[in-house]
Amino acid sequence: MMNEFNKEDIKNIFGEIKTPEYNPTDDIKQKINHGYKIKPKISRLKRTVIIIAAIMGVIILMGAGLNMIVQRVFDADGNSHLQFIPFRHRFRHDPNDEKVLFEREFYDYPNAENILVIRRGDGTGWSDPRRNISDYDELQKYIDGDIFKLPEYVPDGYKFSNADIYFYIDEDFDFENAELIAHEEKFGNVYEKYYIPENPDNISQLFIYYVKEENGEEVYLFYNIFLMDPGFINTNISGQENTTGEILQMPQFDRNILLSTDSYEDGNYFTQYNFHGIKIIPLKYGYDILNQEYGTVFYIISTYSLSQNEIIKMAESIK
């Protein structure tokens, strides 16, 4: 028959263990003073093997197709969406970032007139000279009434904000008449900024920003006149897969105009650079108005719901 022990019995059992006195003070002090380190539970070799195995595992998983992560993003209206982002974009520092930031700063010339930026080295080419205008009266100087025309009607509430005027130059441009104002050598490239004399005959593009306040937010309307080769218009613009167009007769033009409606809702964004950082503006509605005779394209793009009727009304008022 078992005799069940009580707490006192258990205490007596442990009391049978005779633990001699031991003063470890000197040993402990000596070890602490000599920087004694407790041996880790996992040896350094084992730890290294585990880390390498973990890294290999991640690489294998990524190779097996698990190369995307999901991130919640918010659009300009505050609606949240799930966005798939490749691992490499999420975790890897893109060495190109620094270059992009530098170029963005170097290309920024909001208050200057007719600045040409040239990049030499492995990145050939240049940015077209550009002039930014915030005075609507001054803008009139560049409106020739023939190709570059302004709409007389702008949807309710929109006001002129500013305009960019781009000038065309070709490969034979004479730099002797230009003034070098900045020179930088970075990322294997040579960056140069030139101030060049203005030539209104060489305007290639007008980009006009209209803005209005809607529910406390700025809503943009872009009006873009793009001078280009008529052949390009036919093959590249009206032939786009997602373009749905209709031919409209517009009395102010000699030829038919193709009004096309492009879907910008599938992730097209307009990136506006300003002094306070970058403003990403989702483009929702876009219309191309093509004048094949002159080789001009009028883009009217809005970040806010704008009816086709409003767009046509605006297009008809371009005189």
Partner 1 sequence: MDFCEPLLFDESIDIETIVNTYSHALLRYCHSILCDYHEAQDVLQITFIKAWQNKNKFSGDDKDLSNYLYKIAYNSCIDAIRRRKQRLKNPAEPAKQNQDHIPENIKSALMILCPLDRAIAYSHAVDDISFAELAEIYGKTAAALRKRYERARKKLSKILSEGYPNYQNYRKGANNNDE
Stretch of 11-19, 61-69, 117-125, 251-259 contacting partner 1, by CB under 8 A: 11-19
CA-wise closest residue to 161 among 225, 111, 209, 213: 209
CB of 53 to partner 1, least distance (A): 22
CB of 33 to partner 1, least distance (A): 10
CB of 52 to partner 1, least distance (A): 24
CA atoms within 13 A on the CB side of 30: 4
Among 31, 46, 47, 186, binds partner 1 (CB under 8 A): 31
Site mask, partner 1, residues 271-310, x = CB under 8 A? ----------------------------------------
CB of 21 to partner 1, least distance (A): 7
**Is residue 28 near partner 1 by the rule CB under 8 A?**
yes
CB of 20 to partner 1, least distance (A): 7
CB-CB contact of 177 with 163 (8 Å): no
How many residues of this chain interact with partner 1, rule: CB under 8 A?
Answer: 30
**Is residue 45 near partner 1 by the rule CB under 8 A?**
no
Among 15, 63, 216, 239, binds partner 1 (CB under 8 A): 15
Q: How many residues does the chain have?
A: 319
**Is residue 36 near partner 1 by the rule CB under 8 A?**
yes
Minimum CB distance to partner 1 smaller for 24 or for 188:
24
Dihedral (CA of 24, 26, 29, 32) sign: negative
Minimum CB distance to partner 1 smaller for 3 or for 111:
3
Minimum CB distance to partner 1 smaller for 9 or for 98:
9
CB of 34 to partner 1, least distance (A): 11
Beta-bridged to residue 281, according to DSSP, are 270
Among 14, 74, 84, 275, binds partner 1 (CB under 8 A): 14
CB-CB contact of 143 with 160 (8 Å): no
**Is residue 27 near partner 1 by the rule CB under 8 A?**
yes
Phi first, then psi: give them for residue 19, nearest 5 degrees.
-105, 105
CB-CB contact of 198 with 113 (8 Å): yes
**Is residue 47 near partner 1 by the rule CB under 8 A?**
no
Stretch of 29-37, 117-125, 148-156, 233-241 contacting partner 1, by CB under 8 A: 29-37
**Residue-wise DSSP of 2-25:** -----HHHHHHHHHTS-------H
The SS3 assignment for 126 reads strand
CA atoms within 13 A on the CB side of 74: 4
CB-CB contact of 108 with 273 (8 Å): yes
**Is residue 21 near partner 1 by the rule CB under 8 A?**
yes
Contact positions with partner 1 (CB under 8 A) in 141-200: none
Q: Cα angle vertex 134, ends 130, 137, to 5°?
A: 105
**d(C-alpha 277, C-alpha 198), whole Å:** 29
**Is residue 42 near partner 1 by the rule CB under 8 A?**
no
Minimum CB distance to partner 1 smaller for 8 or for 170:
8
Burial tier of 65 (Cβ tally within 10 Å: 0-12, 13-18, 19+): exposed
**Residue ranges that bind partner 1, judged by CB under 8 A:** 2-5, 7-11, 13-25, 27-29, 31-32, 36, 38, 41
